[in-house]
Structure 1
Amino acid sequence: MAQKRSIFEEVDPSAATPAARTAQPGAIDRRQKGSRSAVRIWLIVLFAMVLAMIVIGGLTRLTDSGLSIVEWAPVTGALPPMDETAWQGEFEAYQQIPQYRELNLGMTLAEFKQIYWWEWSHRQLGRAVGVVWLLGYLGLLITGQIPNGWKGRLIIPGALGGLQGAIGWWMVSSGLGEGMVSVASYRLAAHLGLAFIILGLIAWYVFRLARPEREIMQARRLRERKLWGMSTGLLHLAFLQILLGALVAGIDAGRTYIDWPLMAGGFFPPEPFELRPLWRNFFEDPGLVQFIHRMTAYLLFIFGLVVWRRGRKSAHPRTRTAFDWMAVALFGQVVLGIATVMQAAQMHIAITHQLMAVILWVLILRARFLAGYPVTTSIREGRA
């Protein structure tokens, strides 16, 4: 009969079972071939490029430059006009669409070049993102630096990027038909929404690859399910607000009613349902679109504070800090939104508002990630 042992008594390693003697710590990570840090650096570069695309895309919309290139040439369009004859050809093509005839009649070639460069730069950066994704993926694949289980995941951003290019042309083509002087707002919303999905997916991968696989697996067992669910709901509501913001930008609704907190002196905008059929008002009536955007902003702010309050109760300091920063960005975005309206969506304020939307989006994602995969440390360290 085995003798009782003290729980503090050291155990002779030679007495352990063969399986225990051969087991070594960190076996999960050793099975994970590849370089998480190399993949992460590549993803961070892609993240920065997609962020730049969102900003340049916003400036392209604010300067009404999106229809300056009237054809989709993914390969040959990489080169801009190289001489005056080519420039004149591009200008003549632009002169055939309604936006020129109804908004920019009499525009000079020099003025056309200014809007052309915005759209060309946006498209060119899109091509660069595709090249960086493809070459980076192939390079990491050939050198064996992609960790196990990540080959399929890392294809997704590239596939979505290709889809984004097609949606971009689908959006531009909507503004070339008769009676159109800008792109369809709902297509603009789809284009911007997919950009945020791609950005969020890349950010999520970066968060996950920053920690060893064994730590991720252990942290998942400590998931704060209530906080995880609430932050997921907040993420969805923020995405809806981003789409509504695109609708506002698509019809210049932010420049229509510039008083706050009222709209033209009342809570509800005047005559919000004049268009027929009725559903068009929710996409095309400036007063109603801006009103919905405002109301959703209030709802997002209130719910964000509720989620932040819940996050403050987390047992993990880094999770609490993540929700603190999310709340700071949320408050800043509300202030910027009000300023954007009251300043009639001036370019510098409007683009800052869009950039803050990206920051808030990523901070909500980060807070959600830490709610789902909390970082734990000892009490002595005083952090998590």
Structure 2
Amino acid sequence: MSHLAKAAMSSSPARHADMAPHHRRLISNWLFVLCFMLLGMIAIGGITRLTGSGLSIMDWQPVSGFIPPLSHAEWERLFALYQTIPQYHLQHEGFGLEGFQKIFWAEWIHRFWGRLMGLVLIVPLIWFTIRGMITRGLALRLFLFFILGGLQGAIGWFMVASGFRPDSTAVEPVRLVLHLSAALILYSAVLWTAFSIRWPEPQPSVASAGARLTKKLVWLGTALICLTIIAGGFTAGTHAGFVYNTFPLMDGHLVPTDYANLTPLWLNWVANKAAVQFDHRLLATLTALTIGGILLVGLKNFAPGSRAHSALMALGWAVAIQYALGVTTLLLVVPVWAGTVHQTFAAVLLGVMLYVLHGLRGASAR
């Protein structure tokens, strides 16, 4: 996990415990709202990608972009810009202004939602700081999140700009993965901060070898979820989900015959559709099996009704739903609704895993 996420996870629970209980509830609820908005952002991003809408806005206007086109002349200007890029000529030539408007609105909503999240973060942050409801350290951390949110917008434009290359109809997969990863890092950092404010004190320590093993497996599961999401980003970026639409075999083989067609070998992992999809399947299966191990060990060591036990139960349901969504998306050849839900629920699964990890802070072996 990134240094940012680790920094967010190392926030002092003692300082949060010193906050008034009603202030902790208010501020944690605000941060949970931001996390839900981030999930919405991930979902909208999936829609823009799957509908080919992401390249419809040719300029980046961080402030004035809040306002959509208000005149026919402005629509014509934007459409004329879009007609200059390869995607129009290779995919959408002749679809007219009305067709352009359909893809434009998806991308505009995606960018508008990002700007709206910035306001939902910075305006209450200023108010809470002035009122002395949060510590200076927490205020600085949350302001850093605001800065990183703005940086995420710049990364998004860096991604979009890669789609303007000659003979290109989509963004570069590496930049897509960078954009998605940055969003998930920010989401994880905000969510962990919200957990730490709502539950500043760890539960009573569970002194057992099983508890220690559970924590180790949870860390492993967290790493596997992150790797699976990255592999999913390359699957989306290379459109690898539109081939080998059978499960569990790929064209009758467990490992596709053209897995290592490219040289050097590592290039297959980011550019070969067969290898990219297989890696995503493999990592998803390893993640599901690891979480199965977490449940087998963890549920024996934490009493029913405890936060750790409840978190583990939620994790089991979450991974089952996500795995089923992945298989469904593949078999249906990536319809927009399935691809969007699968992408979004990956972030939900990561959030549940972080909730488990946070609930196990007091678990140790003595």
TM over 0.5: yes
Separation in 2, partners of 1:369, 1:266: 40
* Distance in 2, Cα, partners of 1:172 & 1:247: 16
Structure-2 residue corresponding to 1:382:
none
Say whether 1:362 aligns with 2:351.
yes
Partner of 2:163: 175
Q: Equivalent residue for 1:123? A: 111
Do residues 188 (structure 1) and 179 (structure 2) align?
no
Distance in 2 (CA, whole Å) between partners of 1:156 and 1:145 is 18
Is the contact between residue 114 and residue 153 of structure 2 (CA under 8 Å) also seen in structure 1? yes
Cα-to-partner distance string for 1:36-95 (whole Å, 9 max, x where unaligned): 222112212211211111111111111010000111111122211111111111111011
Indicate how the Cα distance of structure 1 residues 246 and 237 shifts in structure 2: closer, same or farther if over 3 A, else same. same
Does residue 310 (structure 1) correspond to residue 282 (structure 2)? The answer is no
- Once the two structures are TM-superposed, the CA of residue 127 in structure 1 deviates from its matched residue by 0.6
Which of 14, 33, 37 pairs up with 1:45? Answer: 33
Query: Match of 1:150, SS?
Result: helix
AA of the residue aligned to 1:151 = A
Residues 41-190 of structure 1 correspond to what in structure 2 (within 5 A)? 41-147=29-135, 149-190=137-178
Shift in Å, 1:144: 0.7
Q: Distance in 2 between matches of 1:32 and 1:208?
A: 12
Indicate the RMSD between aligned Cα atoms, in angstroms: 2.2
Structure 2 residue aligned with 1:9: none
Instruction: Judge conservation of contact 1:225–1:372 (CA < 8 Å) in 2.
Output: no
Q: What's the secondary structure of 1:372's corresponding residue?
A: coil
TM-score w.r.t. length of structure 1: 0.84
Deviation by residue 1:9-57 (Cα, 9 ceiling, x = unmatched): xxxxxxxxxxxxxxxxxx9888546922221122122112111111111
Question: C-alpha distance in 2, partners of 1:316/1:135?
Answer: 41
Letter in 2 for 1:355: T
Following TM superposition, by how much is the alpha carbon of 1:104 offset from its aligned partner in structure 2, in angstroms?
1.3
Report % sequence identity.
35
Higher relative contact order (CA 8 A, sep 6+): 2
Residue 16 of structure 2 contacts residue 197 of structure 2 at CA under 8 Å; is this kept in 1? no
Instruction: Mark the runs of 5 or more structure 1 residues left unpaired by the alignment.
Output: 1-26, 375-384
Aligned-partner residue type, residue 177 of structure 2: A
Residue-by-residue CA offset, 1:119-149 (whole Å, 9 max, x unaligned): 0000011011111111111111001111464
Indicate the residue corresponding to 1:348 in structure 2: 337
Aligned to 2:276: 289
Corresponding residue for residue 199 of structure 1? 187
SS state at 1:266 partner: coil
List alignment gaps of at least 5 residues for structure 2: 1-13
Matches within 5 A, 1:219-298: 219=204, 224-275=211-262, 278-298=265-285
Instruction: Give, in whole Å, the separation in 2 of the partners of 1:220 and 1:180.
Output: 55
Worse overlay, 194-203 or 52-61? 194-203
Q: Are residues 143 and 112 of structure 1, via their aligned partners in 2, closer, same or farther at CA, if it must alter by over 3 Å? A: same
Structure 2 CA distance, aligned partners of 1:33 and 1:370?
A: 21
TM-score normalised over the length of structure 2: 0.88
CA offsets per residue over residues 256-310 of structure 1, 9 Å max, x none?
Answer: 1111111122222243344456543321221111011011111111111111212
The alpha-carbon distance between structure 1 residues 30 and 81, as it changes in their structure 2 partners (threshold 3 A), is closer
* Mapped contact 1:313–1:320 kept (Cα < 8 A): no
Helix, strand or coil for the counterpart of 1:175?
Answer: helix
Alpha-carbon distance, 1:100 to partner: 0.8
